[in-house]
Amino acid sequence: MSQTSPVHVIGAGPAGLMAAERLADAGVRVVIHERMPSVARKLLMAGRGGLNLTHSEPMERFLPRYGDAQATAADWIAAFTPADLIAWVEGLGQSTFVGSSGRVFPKAMKASPLLRAWLARLEGLGVEVRTRSRWIGRRDGGWLFDTPQGERMERPAAVVLAMGGASWPRLGADGAWTGEIEALGARLSPLRPANAGFDVGWSPLFRARFAGRPLKGIALTHAGRTVRGEAMIAAYGIEGGAVYALSADLRRTLERDGSAELTLDLKPDLAPARLAERLSRPRGKDSLSNHLRKTAGLDAVAVALLREAGPPAETTRAQGRALADRIKALPLALTGMQGLDRAISSAGGVRLDELDERLMLRSAPGVFLAGEMLDWEAPTGGYLLQASFASGVAVARGVLDWLDSRG
């Protein structure tokens, strides 16, 4: 396929780069605009702690991770499955492995080798990448960009917008596009933090001693939903993968009620009766902390959490049951959520019903959207990246179909 005017992709994150690759591979001339000095900064940041590409769990468990956007995410992921993503990564020379939790990583455990190979492929496909090129609006039927050489007007055959959400704004995704999108006639849901930590009113002593310490092998429950995994004590409250998996529900509760309760099971593998029996054993000269460590396997952070919630009862046989109940269901009062500048991702954005089946804006023919600009969210664990990549594949198909329909 060829046309006089290229397709312009605005935003050089995973969704935008993937859309550009698929379009160029189909013979379309593609120009990518990135307002930052380099591309895919958020992807590189995510890869610093191990680039979690996707997850190996079955689709019947995978797809519900997308909550209200499950049906849309299912369409995207049908176009680019976790197996497709793994094959694509390995096609770039980056072997992968599945971790003990089922998450999938490149063996290099970082994003930079993958990104270098990807950019080399795009260059080989003839994709033009313009950094420091910021879209500033539509004028006189064209698309205006602020560049180091001054303002530049473009008249593309179609445009893919993939400018990210509003989290980690220092990396480029600041949500500044909302006004221009509304000017195109699209409705938006407010941008809100997702996969962010929550505020807890720790005592000064607990904060000083335990900020930065992990809580391993726990289970968290909110609104009838339980997630097992790990969390981290932060100076402001609590964060981590298990918390992020519940963040959408916790955020809604906070927005509605002004506070939320998170219930911690510090020993999810121990049945309450068995735990109570252990705690009721005589402790002799052991301190309560040592007794909890020896009988229940609680570390110093978990014991301190019990004290933070109120002094634990002495472990007589009767009171051992009460202490076991507390260990199995420790309430934690959340008073707020960290903002977009501290969030891993964002919720909200362009409403999904503003797009047709090609991911084209109903109000602006020839304008397509992908990635985190759209109103969906997912927990960490590979779900965010999988859907971002997949939306890039899906939007490229939509653009190609629309171009074909126009001859």
Tens of pLDDT, residue by residue over 258-286, are 999 999 999 999 999 999 999 888 888 88
Q: Quote the pLDDT of residue 313.
A: 52
Q: List where CATH 3.50.50.60 sits in the chain.
A: 7-194+345-405
CA pair distance 133, 298, nearest whole angstrom: 54
Contacts of 180 (CB under 8 A, 6+ apart): 135, 136, 137, 138
What CA dihedral angle connects 380, 386, 392 and 395, to 10 degrees?
A: -100
Q: Rounded to an integer, what distance in angstroms lies between the CA atom of residue 22 and that of residue 396?
A: 6
8 or 311: which leads in pLDDT? 8
188: part of which helix (H) or strand (E)?
Answer: strand 188-194
Dump pLDDT digits (tens) for 37-64: 999 999 999 877 789 999 999 999 999 9
Average pLDDT, the chain: 94
Per-residue pLDDT of 223-257, as tens digits, reads 999 999 999 999 999 999 999 999 999 999 999 99
Pair of tokens at residue 65: 């991770």
Q: Could you tell me the two tokens for 64? A: 């519900």
Cβ contacts of residue 405 below 8 Å, gap of 6+?
Answer: none
**The two structure tokens encoding residue 238:** 């609590």
| Predicted local distance difference test score (pLDDT) of residue 92 | 98
Mean pLDDT of 213-217: 96
% of the chain beyond a pLDDT of 70: 97
* H-assigned helices in 130-232: 178-183, 204-210
Asked if residue 192 has pLDDT above 90, the reply is yes
| pLDDT on residue 315 | 46
Residue 1 reports pLDDT greater than 50: no
The per-residue pLDDT for 311 is 61
The tokens describing 130, both together, are: 């313009």
What six digits make up the tokens of 137?
Answer: 């609006």
pLDDT band at 312 (very low <50, low <70, confident <90, very high): low
Is the predicted pLDDT of residue 140 greater than 60, yes or no? yes
- Decide which of 3.40.50.460, 3.40.50.620, 3.50.50.60, 1.10.260.40 is the CATH code for 7-194+345-405: 3.50.50.60
pLDDT of residue 77: 98
pLDDT-derived band of residue 2, with 50, 70 and 90 as boundaries?
very low
Asked whether the predicted pLDDT for residue 346 surpasses 70, the reply is yes
And the tokens for 288?
A: 């309560």
Provide the pLDDT for residue 63: 98
Give me the DSSP letters along 69-99: GHHHHHHHHHHS-HHHHHHHHHHTT--EEE-
| pTM, rounded to two decimals | 0.93
- Which DSSP state fits 314? P
| CB burial of residue 221 (10 Å; 0-12, 13-18, 19+) | middle
